[in-house]
C-alpha cells in the first residue's frame, strides 16, 4: 500500500471540476485518505515547488498556484504514485492521452489541472507539507 499527494490546481477548481476529478481518481482504484481546500500564499507555492526554483517557468508557476484555492488530497492504493500519474496524464495538457485528467481539464503545460508526487520520498515530504498525521485516515475508521 502506497500514499501520494494529489493537488487539484486553481484552474480546475475554477472550472468546477473538483467532483469529476475525484471521481476519476476513485474509479482508478485510489482512495481519498485526506482532503482539504486551501489557498497557498506566494511563499508557500515557492516552498512547495522549490526544486524548480531555477527553471524559467518558476515565477509564473508560483503565481498560478497561489491564484486561487486548490484541493489537497492524500490518495492511497497499491502503486498509488504511478497509478495517480497514469490517471493524470503527462505534464503538457495538449499532449496528454485522451481520457486522462489533464486532457479533459488542463489547458496548457502550466495550467494542467492536477499535481501528483513522482516518487516515494517526494510523496512523503509533499504529504507532510499539507497534512498533519491526525488529518489522515487509513484502514479501519
Residue 57, interface with ligand ATP (CB under 6 A)?
yes
The one segment of 35-43, 71-79, 115-123, 128-136 that binds ligand ATP by CB under 6 A:
115-123
First to last CA, the chain: 17
CA-to-CA dists, residue 87 to 6, 29, 39, 90, 125, angstroms: 11, 10, 24, 9, 22
**Which residues on adjacent β-strands are paired with residue 3?**
76
Instruction: Tell me which of ligand ATP, Mg ion, none is bound by residue 129, counting a contact when its beta carbon lies within the kind-specific cut-off of 5 to 8 angstroms.
Output: none
* Closest distance of CB 20 from ligand ATP, Å: 18
Q: Which is nearer to ligand ATP, 110 or 135 (CB)?
A: 110
Q: In this structure, are residues 96 and 103 in contact, taking their beta carbons and an 8 Å threshold?
A: yes
Angle between helices 80-88 and 18-27 (to 10 degrees): 130
Among 23, 41, 59, 91, contact with ligand ATP (rule: CB under 6 A): 91
115 labelled catalytic: yes
Instruction: Tell me which of ligand ATP, Mg ion, none is bound by residue 91, counting a contact when its beta carbon lies within the kind-specific cut-off of 5 to 8 angstroms.
Output: ligand ATP
Catalytic residues: 115
Amino acid at each position: 500500500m502506497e500514499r501520494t499527494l494529489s493537488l487539484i490546481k486553481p484552474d480546475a477548481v475554477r472550472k468546477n471540476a473538483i467532483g469529476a476529478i475525484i471521481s476519476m481518481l476513485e474509479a482508478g482504484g485510489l482512495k481519498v485518505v485526506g482532503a482539504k481546500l486551501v489557498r497557498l500564499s506566494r511563499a508557500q507555492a515557492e516552498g512547495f515547488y522549490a526544486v524548480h526554483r531555477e527553471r524559467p517557468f518558476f515565477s509564473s508557476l508560483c503565481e498560478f498556484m497561489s491564484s486561487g484555492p486548490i484541493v489537497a488530497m492524500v490518495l492511497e492504493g497499491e502503486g498509488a504514485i504511478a497509478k495517480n500519474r497514469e490517471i493524470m496524464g503527462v505534464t503538457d495538457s495538449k499532449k496528454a492521452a485522451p481520457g486522462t485528467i489533464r486532457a479533459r481539464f488542463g489547458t496548457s503545460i502550466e495550467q494542467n489541472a492536477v499535481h501528483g508526487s513522482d516518487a516515494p520520498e517526494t510523496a512523503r515530504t509533499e504529504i507532510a507539507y499539507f497534512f498533519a498525521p491526525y488529518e489522515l485516515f487509513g484502514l479501519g475508521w
